[in-house]
Structure 1
Amino acid sequence: MKLKRFLLRYYPPGIILEYVKGGEIRTKSIDLLDLTPETDTEELLAEIRKSEPLVTWSRAEQVRQLLRTLQDKLRQHVERSFPLFKVLQAHVLPLTNVAFNKSACVSYADKVATGSFDKTCKLWSVETGKCFHTFWGHMAEIVCLAFNPQSTLVATGSMDTLAKLWDVQTGEEVATLSGHSAEIISLAFNTAGDRLVTGSFDRTVSLWDVPTGSCVHTLIGHRGEISSVQFNWDCSLIVTGSMDRTCRVWDAPAGKCVFTFSDHEDEVLDVCFDCTGQLIATASADGTARVYSAATNQCIAKLQGHEGEISKVCFNPQGSRVLTASVDKTARLWDVRSGECVQVLGGHTDEIFSCAFNYEGDAIITGSKDNTCRIWR
C-alpha cells in the first residue's frame, strides 16, 4: 500500500487517507469524533501512528498540522445569527420537506431538494434558484426526502407507500423500494450511502440495501405510526420516533431495540443524531424538544418556547445548536447545553414542515406550508 494524500473532513472531524493498493486508488478514514480544541495533538498523533500503518514517521508532521487545522476549525465556530438570504417559490402545492446536498470532503452545498404535495421532488441551485430537475413518478404526496452522502442520489418517500431513488445528475429514477403497507413518512441514508432506512405509518421501520433495493431488516416494536428515522455516524445505531410518544434506539446490524425514551407527553414527530452520534434530539407534538446523551441516555436539555407542535429538529454540524420547525410558523435556534432559544426565524405565513443546516453550518433552509422555502445565512 502506498499513501497518496490526505483529505480533511470537518464534520464530523476526521482525516481521509487516499492510497494505492493493487494498482487501485482506495480510501479509508480516521474518525476523530472526540476531537476538541483542547485535545493533546501529540498524544493523538501517537495513537494514530500506532494504529494506522500508512501514517509513517515521514508523514507525522503533515498529520500533526491536519489535526491542528481541525482544531482551528472547531475554534472558529461563532455563535452567529442567520438573516434571511433568499426565498424560493418552490411548488404549486405546499412543501413537505427540504434538504441541502452535502459531501464529506466538500464544504459548500450548492443544491437543495424539495418535496411537495404535488407528488414531485425538485432539485434547485442554491445560488441562482434555478430548477435543475423535477422528479416525477410517485402517485401520491412526497412527505420525506434525503440526499445520499455522495450527493449522487436523492431518496423520496411518499404516501403511496413507496420510496424511490433518483439520479441527481440525470434526473432519472434509479429504483423503487416497495414493502411498506402504509405511507412512508421518514427516510435516511447511512454514512456510506449503501443503506437506507425508512419509517412508515404501518408502525414498522425497514432497512434497505441501496445497490440491490432489497430489504435487510424490518424493525418491529413501536405501538404507533413511525414519524422519524435516522442512522448515527458509524451506522451502528438507528433512532426512531413514533406517534406512541416514544423514541427508540436500535442496534442496526442486529435489528434489535436497545433503549426507549418515554419523556414526551404527546407524539414524537422527529428525531435525529448529531454528526458524531453522541447526542440525540427529539421533537414532539407537546411543543417541546429534548436533547439526550447517546452514551448515558440522560436528558441534557428541554427546549421550550414554541407555541405549537414541533415537526422537525436537527443539529448544526458543530453540535452546539439545535434547529426546530413548528406549526407556529417559526423556526428556532437553541443552545444545546443551556436549552436557551438564541434566535427566532420568522417570516413564513403558515406552518413550517422542515428545516436543515448546510454542511458548514453557516446556512439554514426552512420549508413551509405557505408554498415557499427560505434560505438564511
Structure 2
Amino acid sequence: MRLKRLHIRYYPPGIILDYEKGGQQRTKSIDFLDLTPDTDVNDLLADIRRVEPLITASRTDQVKALIKRLQDKLSQRDERKFYLFKALQAHILPLTNVAFNKSGSSFITGSYDRTCKIWDTASGEELHTLEGHRNVVYAIAFNNPYGDKIATGSFDKTCRLWSTETGKCFYIFRGHTAEIVCLAFNPQSTLVATGSMDTTAKLWNVESGEEVSTLAGHSAEIISLCFNTVGNRLVTGSFDHTVILWDVPSGRREHTLIGHRGEISSVQFNWDCSLIVTASMDKNCKVWDAESGQCLSTLTGHDDEVLDVCFNYTGQLIATASADGTSRVFNADTYQCVCKLEGHEGEISKVCFNPQGTRVLTASADKTARVWCVRSSSCLQVLEGHTDEIFSCAFNYEGDTIITGN
C-alpha cells in the first residue's frame, strides 16, 4: 500500500486518504467524531499511527497540520444572522421538497407541477427544468458528494435519473406499482434506492439503469429510507409500524425493528453506521443498534406525532420535529433531552442541524422557519416571508445558507 495524498473533511471532522493497493486507486477515511479544540493533537496522532499503517513518520507533520485546521474550524464562533437573499417563484404549483448539492452552489426543487428545477444558489437563476414525469415530483436528491446526477421520484410510479449539467434524462426506472415517495443515492453513487406506496423498495444501477433488486417485506407504504455511510446497508420505515434493515449486496433482510405503535415517519443512520434513529406517529422516537437490531432507547416527551428526526453530522445529537409544535434535541449517548425548542404556532414537519451541530433549523405550518441555538435552547432567528406552510428546509455544507420551501 502506498499513500498518495491526504484531504481534509470539515463535516464531520476527518481526513481522507487516497492510496494505491495492488495497482488500484482506493480511498479510506479517518473520522474524528469526538475532536474538540482542546484535544491533544500529539496523543491523537499517536493513536492514529498505532492503527493506520499508511500514516508513516514522514506524514506525521502533514496529518498534525490537518488536525489543527480542523480544530481551528471547530473553534470558530457562529454568530451569523440570515437575511432574505432571494424569493423564487419556483413553480406554478406548490413545492414538495428542496435539496442542496454538496458545495451548496446549486439546489433543486420538486413540485406538484410535475417538474424538478435546478437553481444557481448565488444568482437565483434557474439552470434547468427537468420535465417528463406525468404526476407530482415528490422525492428528489443529488448524488452527493459528486453532484453530477439527480434522481426524481414521482406519483407516476417512476424514478428518473438526470444529468445536473445538461438536464438530460439518462434513465427512467420503471417497476413500482404505486407512488414513489422517498429515494436516496448510496454514497458511492452506484445505486439509487426508491421507496413506494406499493410496500416495496427497489435498488437501481446508476450506470446501466437496470433494477438490481426488489426489497419486499413491509405490509404497508414505505415512507422513508436511508443508506449507511458505507453503502452496504439500507434501512426502510413503513406505515406498517416497522423498520427493516437490509443487506444491500444480497438484498436480504437482516433485521425487522419492531416496537413502534404507529406509522414510521422518518429513519436515519448516524455517521459511523452504529445507530439508527426512527420517528413515529406514536409520539416517540427510538434508537436502535444497527448491528443487532435491538432497541437501545425510546425518546419520549412529545405530545403529538413525531414527523421528522435526524442526527447531527458527528452522530452525537438527535433532533426531533413534532406535530405538537416543538422540537427536541437529545444526547445520542445518554438519550437524555438536552433542550426543548418552543415557539412555533403550528406543527413542525422538518428539522435539521447545521454542519457544525450548533444550530437547529425547523420548518413549520405557521409559515415560518426558525434557527435555534442547541446550547441555550433559544430561538436565534424567525425566518418570515412565506405565505403558507413551510414543509422543507436545509442548510448548505458550510452552514451559511438556508433554503426553505412551501
Q: TM-score range by the shorter chain?
A: 0.7 to 0.9
Q: Which residue of 2 aligns with 1:280?
A: 318
Give the SS at the match of 2:46.
helix
Of the candidates 221, 224, 231, which is equivalent to residue 259 of structure 2?
Answer: 221
Q: Deviation string for 1:296-349 (max 9, x for gaps)?
A: 111111111222111121112211111222223333222222222233344444
Q: Is the 8 A contact 2:173 2:209 kept in 1?
A: no
Displacement of 1:246: 1.1
Displacement of 1:195: 1.0
Q: Which residue of 2 aligns with 1:83?
A: 84
Q: Distance in 2 between matches of 1:139 and 1:331?
A: 35
Residues 1:71 and 2:71 are matched in the alignment: yes
Root-mean-square deviation (Å): 2.8
Q: Is the 8 A contact 2:182 2:196 kept in 1?
A: yes
Q: Distance in 2 between matches of 1:84 and 1:178?
A: 45
Change (3 A) 1:139 1:351: farther
Give the SS at the match of 1:352.
coil
Q: Which residue of 1 aligns with 2:39?
A: 39
Q: Which residue of 1 aligns with 2:224?
A: 186
Q: When the two structures are superposed, what TM-score results if normalisation uses the length of structure 1?
A: 0.85
Q: Distance in 2 between matches of 1:26 and 1:227?
A: 37
Q: Distance in 1 between matches of 2:89 and 2:162?
A: 12
For 1:32, give the aligned amino acid: F
Q: Which residue of 1 aligns with 2:376?
A: 338
Displacement of 1:367: 4.1
- Unmatched tracts of structure 1, length 5 or more: 369-377
Residues 1:302 and 2:369 are matched in the alignment: no
Displacement of 1:256: 0.8
Give the SS at the match of 1:182.
coil
Q: Distance in 1 between matches of 2:160 and 2:395?
A: 18
Q: Is the 8 A contact 1:97 1:353 kept in 2?
A: no
Q: Which residue of 2 aligns with 1:290?
A: 328
Which stretch shifts more, 73-82 or 187-196? 73-82
Q: Is the 8 A contact 1:16 1:28 kept in 2?
A: yes
Residues 1:53 and 2:53 are matched in the alignment: yes
Change (3 A) 1:144 1:340: farther
Which stretch shifts more, 353-362 or 333-342? 353-362
Change (3 A) 1:165 1:6: same
Residues 1:140 and 2:141 are matched in the alignment: no
Q: Distance in 2 between matches of 1:59 and 1:148?
A: 31
Q: Distance in 2 between matches of 1:355 and 1:99?
A: 14
- Structure with bigger RCO (C-alpha 8 Å, 6+ apart): 1
Residues 1:236 and 2:236 are matched in the alignment: no
Which stretch shifts more, 43-52 or 192-201? 43-52
Which stretch shifts more, 60-69 or 82-91? 82-91
Displacement of 1:65: 1.3
Q: Distance in 1 between matches of 2:78 and 2:323?
A: 31
Q: Which residue of 1 aligns with 2:283?
A: 245
Q: Distance in 2 between matches of 1:37 and 1:284?
A: 34
Q: Distance in 2 between matches of 1:84 and 1:134?
A: 35
Displacement of 1:271: 1.2
Q: Is the 8 A contact 2:162 2:171 kept in 1?
A: no
For 1:256, give the aligned amino acid: Q
Q: Distance in 2 between matches of 1:139 and 1:329?
A: 34
For 1:221, give the aligned amino acid: G
Q: Which residue of 2 aligns with 1:149?
A: 187
Which stretch shifts more, 289-298 or 29-38? 29-38
Q: Distance in 2 between matches of 1:124 and 1:97?
A: 14
Q: Which residue of 2 aligns with 1:24?
A: 24
How many residues align? The count is: 363
Displacement of 1:254: 0.6
Change (3 A) 1:64 1:36: same
Give the SS at the match of 1:275.
coil
Change (3 A) 1:78 1:252: same
For 2:84, give the aligned amino acid: P
Q: Which residue of 2 aligns with 1:374?
A: none
Q: Deviation string for 1:1-40 (max 9, x for gaps)?
A: 3222212222111112233333333333221011123333
Q: Is the 8 A contact 1:99 1:356 kept in 2?
A: no
Change (3 A) 1:139 1:344: farther
Give the SS at the match of 2:199.
coil
Q: Distance in 1 between matches of 2:405 and 2:151?
A: 11
Q: Is the 8 A contact 1:143 1:185 kept in 2?
A: yes
Q: Is the 8 A contact 2:286 2:297 kept in 1?
A: yes
- Unmatched tracts of structure 2, length 5 or more: 92-109, 115-135
Give the SS at the match of 2:65.
helix
> What pairs with 1:339-358 in structure 2 (closer than 5 Å)?
339-358=377-396
Q: Distance in 2 between matches of 1:157 and 1:283?
A: 22
Q: Distance in 1 between matches of 2:269 and 2:225?
A: 10
Percent of aligned pairs sharing the same letter: 69
Q: Which residue of 2 aligns with 1:327?
A: 365
Q: When the two structures are superposed, what TM-score results if normalisation uses the length of structure 2?
A: 0.79
Q: Deviation string for 1:109-160 (max 9, x for gaps)?
A: 566655454545566788x894756855343333223232234433232222
Change (3 A) 1:335 1:202: same
Change (3 A) 1:99 1:330: farther
Q: Distance in 1 between matches of 2:388 and 2:166?
A: 22
